[in-house]
Amino acid sequence: MSPERLTPTIFVHPTTKEALFRAAGGALVLGTPPRPICDSKQEVYDFAALTGNNGDRLHYDDVYARKPPRNPPVSEGDLARQWQASPDLQQLLASLGDLEGRTVLLLGNGVSPREFHFLSRGARCIYTDLSLAALHAARNVFLTSDLARRFGNRIEFHAVDALHLPFADASVDLVYGRALVHHLNNLGLFFSEVARVLKPGGRCRFLDDAYCPAWQLLKRTILRPLQQHTHRRHGISPADLRATQKGGFTRPEIEQLARDHGFREVLFERSLFFEYFCTRGTLKLGGQFLLPVLLPLCRGVDAVLERYCGFTHRHGVRLVWGFRKETGREGPMGVERDRTTDRGNHVHFSDNAGSG
């Protein structure tokens, strides 16, 4: 893919949605006579500064300034392996479908390099987070990786508040957020933005926690002191604290979101119980060195319980979820689930339903 053949990203003002134009030097301007809206610093636009989400942003800028990304630089081989490291990541990747030629909007991506792998799969990525500090750190990791030379023309980095997207209507094929949605305090606004920027037939895919009564009980009892200790030590944003206290998403909540925003094909796929419990607990207790022994054990228990009683399908904590936007040529709306599996957890997409 050559730089000339890429469609340039069309930006709009994140709150008013007026069209923005690039002036000489890269700054974004609005109206006539042109009024400067956003400077370009190292080709990164700070749209989040225009939306007033200052509390959360200060929190995350501080988090990322104190905790730079671990283990850069990255290679294509490392990234491909990372996606195979646990069942929830495998499910998330599989749920994205074919990425060749797709424009993927990464929301709340922090400093995670894992998603650079989508470039190797043929995608064009718009990498975003609320925190400008995270964006610059992620961009530096990318520039020092062996992906920069091959895919540098297919990725851009911008600070974006997921509740106020600065992208034109129907401009992306896939909206992606890992461990993001439970941080947002207005899901109605978020999904109206997701529906706006997705092309007809485009999809959104997220990874968060599913509501799991057993996990909630553990958090409220034996894990409570540990949780309070880590919150004090590492800090937690108010939105994240609310989400932790409430527990993860339920299927009815997600189906309601689909109905409210005219989405189809609800995906609700749970995985991991003991593995999740063991990883979280061990990391919080500072026992990383135990993981090589504990992880295979927990994976074994998860696999056996799943096989004999479908345990993780009912109690799994990790949740891969999402929807498809209507193509505009479909029949009456209704929340559709896959009817081919016994537990109704999987949704299979036919690729011609996706956007081109």
User: According to CB under 6 A, which one of 143, 148, 179, 335 is a site residue for ligand SAM?
Assistant: 179
Contact 271, 87 (CB under 8 A): yes
Q: Rank residues 81 and 259 by Cβ distance to ligand SAM and give the closer one.
A: 81
Report the first-to-last Cα separation within the chain, whole angstroms: 16
Q: Tell me if 113 contacts ligand SAM by CB under 6 A.
A: no
Place of tokens 């599996």: 341
Is residue 210 within the footprint of ligand SAM (CB under 6 A)?
no
Asked whether 299 and 272 are in contact (CB, 8 A), the reply is no
Q: Does 163 bind ligand SAM (CB under 6 A)?
A: yes
Q: Is 180 in the site for ligand SAM (CB under 6 A)?
A: yes
317 is a site residue for ligand SAM (CB under 6 A) = no
110 near ligand SAM, rule: CB under 6 A = yes
DSSP H stretches of helix in the chain: 54-66, 76-82, 87-95, 117-120, 132-143, 148-151, 187-197, 213-220, 224-234, 238-246, 251-261, 274-284, 291-309, 311-315
Cα dihedral: 219, 221, 226, 230 (round 10) = 40
Between residue 59 and residue 98, which ones bind ligand SAM under the rule CB under 6 A? Answer: 60
Contact indicator for 24, 33 with CB cutoff of 8 Å? no
Least distance in angstroms from the C-beta of 128 to ligand SAM: 7
For every residue of 165-217, DSSP letters joined together read: --B-TT-EEEEEEES-GGG-S-HHHHHHHHHHHEEEEEEEEEEEEBP-HHHHH
Count of residues engaged in binding ligand SAM, rule: CB under 6 A: 20
Q: Which is nearer to ligand SAM, 173 or 193 (CB)?
A: 193
According to the binding rule CB under 6 A, does residue 28 interact with ligand SAM?
A: no
**Considering the rule CB under 6 A, would residue 108 count as an interface residue with ligand SAM?**
yes
Among 56, 88, 275, 306, binds ligand SAM (CB under 6 A): 56
Q: Of 281 and 310, which has the nearer Cβ to ligand SAM?
A: 281
Map tokens 């990234």 to a residue: 79
Q: Is 183 in the site for ligand SAM (CB under 6 A)?
A: yes
The answer to whether residue 184 forms part of the interface with ligand SAM (CB under 6 A) is: yes
DSSP single-letter state for residue 19:
B
130 lines the binding site for ligand SAM (CB under 6 A):
yes
**Residues making contact with ligand SAM (CB under 6 A):** 53, 56, 60, 107-110, 112, 129-131, 134, 161-163, 178-180, 183-184
